Amino acid sequence: MSSTPRCPHCRHFVYLSLLQCPHCGAELGFNLIDREFYGLRDGHTSIEGVTWYACSNRTWGCNWLVRGETPAGQCFSCRLTRRRPAVDDTIALEKWGKTEEAKRRLLLQLGELGLPIVPWSVRKGGLGFDLLSSLSGGERVVIGHVNGIITIDLAESLDDRREALRVRLGEPYRTILGHLRHEVGHYFQNVLLTDDVAWSKCREIFGDERASYKDALARHYSQGAPAEWPESFISEYATMHPWEDFAETFAHYLHITGTLATAAAIGIHLDAGVTNMRDTDVVPLQSYRDEPIQRLLADWDWMSQGFNRINRSMGFGDLYPFTLVGPVRRKLGFVHDMVTRAPLTLDEQVAQAQEQSRDPALAAAPDEPGTGAA
């Protein structure tokens, strides 16, 4: 978010996931177009003469608004979900609600970066989400991305299960939001690389993605990452295949820019006058769109040290337990160039959001998705 969200009535700070103001108790709805909270009365509100309603999934924690003429009553984020648990699977639906919260945060950040989103129901290969649980329905659910559709295993929202997998796989970080950011990296690699020159540069930096993914997968899980992987990669998983290296790098770009934007929005910075960390102030920006990657990473180097120290003071591990070596910085620079090369302007985003908010084609997602391979 480029600004701190506030209650429209009492102006108290509210978290993006809240349905009610914690201070005055007002019912709240979030409007994607202007990224502001509005007060609800009887489940609706008026914005510039247009009636907006609470999303039909509000029972499951969705606080986004829907234009009055939109069929199915689902917000833009919920309409991107192609499949979800059955209506009688209340345990899985609870985990689905929490995963949808992470998805909304992802979509907001993509909008802040000006990245285009074409829904799966509008165009083949468009962005969509299958959010299913491997613990119910007897269906094998594999986290991944295929032709624009991102599959997330809702069982990963269980802290004990996710932590067990993190430890078993030797990962320093594993969250639902992290999964979403990684998988959307696969989607945007195909969206942002639009010509042979861009693909050639990408292959020069990340490797040739045309290499057999099946063979790479088998090699990675039988042999593991090469011993020298920290010299060139952000994670062990990034070593598996160029596709995964790009997606891991893209996810870290979202980690970094999202955390710096939050720090900027709430006024966190390093004051050289009171810290012994460096001689000059470090003031993070809400957007690095017009800045070189060097400025972005320099700010992050110092701010992440501060964040890590805060975490340690509470007995937690580092907030950002990764090392950005030279080759990884070059990869992040490539992603930065791709993301900032032709972003949508705010006016273009508003026009796109308005069109998507009332397009009947976007309401084509069924309420009860059918079964089938994830």
Please name the amino acid found at residue 66.
Answer: V
pLDDT in tens, 354-368: 666 555 444 443 333
Residue 362 has a pLDDT of 44
**Bridge pairing between strands 149-153 and 128-132:** parallel
Residue 236 predicted with pLDDT over 70: yes
Locate the domains of the chain by residue range.
1-74, 80-174, 193-343
Are the C-beta atoms of 282 and 228 separated by less than 8 Å? Answer: no
Task: Give 133-192 pLDDT, tens digit per residue.
Answer: 988 867 889 999 999 999 999 988 866 677 776 666 677 788 999 999 999 999 999 999
pLDDT digits (tens, 9 = 90+) for 290-311: 999 999 999 999 999 999 999 9
CA distance 166 to 143: 14
253 Cβ neighbours under 8 A, 6+ residues apart: 332, 335, 336, 339
Give the DSSP letter string of 243-270: HHHHHHHHHHHHHHHHHHHHHHHTT--B
3-state class percentages of the chain: helix first, strand second, coil last, to nearest 5:
45, 10, 40
Q: Name which of 346, 188, 314, 319 is nearest 258 in CA terms.
A: 319
Q: What is the pLDDT of residue 358?
A: 58
Mean pLDDT score of the chain: 88
Amino acid, single-letter form, for residue 126: G
Those residues whose C-beta lies under 8 Å from the C-beta of residue 280, and which sit 6 or more positions away, are 272
Burial of 233 (0-12, 13-18, 19+ CB in 10 A): buried
Instruction: Provide the residue type at 340 as one letter.
Output: T
Q: What is the pLDDT of residue 43?
A: 94
Backbone torsions φ then ψ of 362, nearest 5 degrees? -80, -5
